[in-house]
Amino acid sequence: MDEQEITAAATRREAVLGTIAKAARIAGRKPAEIALIAVSKTHGEDAIRPMLAAGQRVFGENRVQEAEAKWPALRAEYPDVALHLVGQLQSNKAEDAVQLFDAIHSVDRPSLVAALAKAMEKTGRRPDCFVQVNIGDEEQKGGCAIADLPALLTEVRAAGLPLKGLMCVPPADVEAAPYFALLAKIARDNGLDQLSMGMSGDYETAVTIGATHVRVGSALFGARA
């Protein structure tokens, strides 16, 4: 890792933070209310280290196994890193996820709620939980159907999971704002105030609509392999 790599990472990071700050001010919000999750999926330690050196401390991964291969060594050097699971989670990986991650953004079905509750009781670790909503009613995507959400939230609360808010991935290639606005309304209606929404192409819009966590990959790391 050389100074040029660190400078490039810092420049990309500052540009994203600047965009977040601008969008927050437009919406009458404080930039500090929005967490930037640097999504490092498919990127190796050589790409992550410059971002760490540039000051980024919140990262997102899509797969438990990939994160297990990369992050223990990195966290030994940077113990203040917070790691978020932003991809789908299989119930049989719940305990591994609870051990490794500080937040899980893809709680979407009763079987996973039960697996996470069991894993938290066993390990003593309690990562923050976001319920993923299939906001565009897309068959190929994970997430709880909007109609099923009240029942799932009841189960999450009954199981004692640390429920923080909702997450969504809107349909691709259409205007994201209506989907973000719908998620924000659903969250308000259910007494939740944290929203994980917005990626590299639409995080500015998400911030103006109330995102508290934006999941940004390519704008920070460049295109994935």
List the domains of the chain with CATH numbers.
3-221 (3.20.20.10)
The pLDDT of residue 139: 87
Under a CB-based contact definition with an 8 Å cutoff, are residues 163 and 153 in contact? Answer: yes
Residue-wise pLDDT for 149-181, tens only, equals: 999 999 999 999 999 999 999 999 899 999 999
The model's pTM: 0.96
